[in-house]
Amino acid sequence: MKSTAEFMNNAMKAGLTVPAFNVPYLPMVEPVIRAVVDQDSFGLIAVARLEWIKFEAQGPAAVMEEFKKWNEPENVRIHLDHVPVIDEDNLEVDYLSIIREAIDLGYQSVMVDGSRLDLEGNIEATRRVAEMAHAAGVPCEAELGAVMGHEAGPPPPYEELFESGMGFTDVEEAKRFVQQTNCDWLSVAIGSIHGAVSGALKDKKKVSARLNLDHLEKLHQATGIPLVLHGGSGVKQEYLLAAIKQGITKVNVGTEIRQTYESALRETGALSSAQDAVYDRTCWLLKDYFGLSGTRERVVGEAG
């Protein structure tokens, strides 16, 4: 079976992106996979540590079990998203054991997030995870820079963040980081923000984020590997489509489908209605937002 790394490289060469759909609730897995298949696309089912800490994903084993029930290997792979070295509440995380567990469970790509460390600490943590993942034939994603939004308390005004370039990934640091860690994909900060995950803010509509495309181009030239956009929900479509042409090969989508699920469940009380809503929204994202309907073969080839 071809690796997720091959599919990502194919997507980058074709000027396409691979959407990674985060599933904070297990019943979201089936409708997302069904939508990807029905749109003849390719995507990742992703779960981050915070989605079993702050929501109801339960953990890597539970998500893998649900994924196996509905897996369509020609269309989807499973990805371990954000496993922080230091988490959103500034607590240390036993990140190596979580990532090792996921690899042993059969996750097909993993992410370590050392972005709250200094540069040297992030390089060292990422290098260790990349070595562990590569020994198992699994690609490793890392993060450099600060995609805001998961921190406790209200964030600064968005325009202030964007205009100041607060947390943006440094180009020279990115070049050195990739060389010294051997990571396969790099999540970069260029203007997107994460959706809030706690308190009243978690139900609020995200701001319409912009992306600094000039900065992205410099990062793409400096690194030469697939780049990742976290906080993909809410980014203005014109910026997103341009960013994909400039090296954003994976886009994380969380808030867009999480709030859809929660809202439908709250309004109807019916799990099936919430799943139908997630299916419809995922189809819309693939077809009308990303423009990825019918692109599966360009990513996976004839025999994925």
Q: Which active-site residues does the annotation give?
A: 81
Judge contact between 50 and 98, C-beta under 8 A.
no
Helix (H) or strand (E) holding 140: strand 140-144
Q: Is 170 helix (H, G, I), strand (E, B) or coil?
A: coil
Please tell me the number of Cα atoms within 13 Å of 205 on its side-chain side.
3
CA torsion angle 174 161 257 33 (round to 10): -10
Sort 238 into a burial class: Cβ within 10 Å, 0-12 / 13-18 / 19+: exposed
For 128, the token pair is: 């260790």
CB pairs under 8 A, 24+ apart, for 286-293? 286/19, 286/35, 286/36, 286/39, 286/41, 286/43, 287/39, 289/237, 289/240, 290/17, 290/19, 290/240, 290/244, 290/251, 291/241, 292/16, 292/17, 292/19, 292/39, 292/41, 292/42, 293/39, 293/40, 293/41
- Give the DSSP letter string of 86-112: B-TTS-B--HHHHHHHHHHHT-SEEEE
Instruction: Give the separation between CA 157 and CA 76, rounded to whole angstroms.
Output: 36
Instruction: Give the separation between CA 118 and CA 95, rounded to whole angstroms.
Output: 17
Residue type, 19: P
Longest dimension (CA), the chain: 51
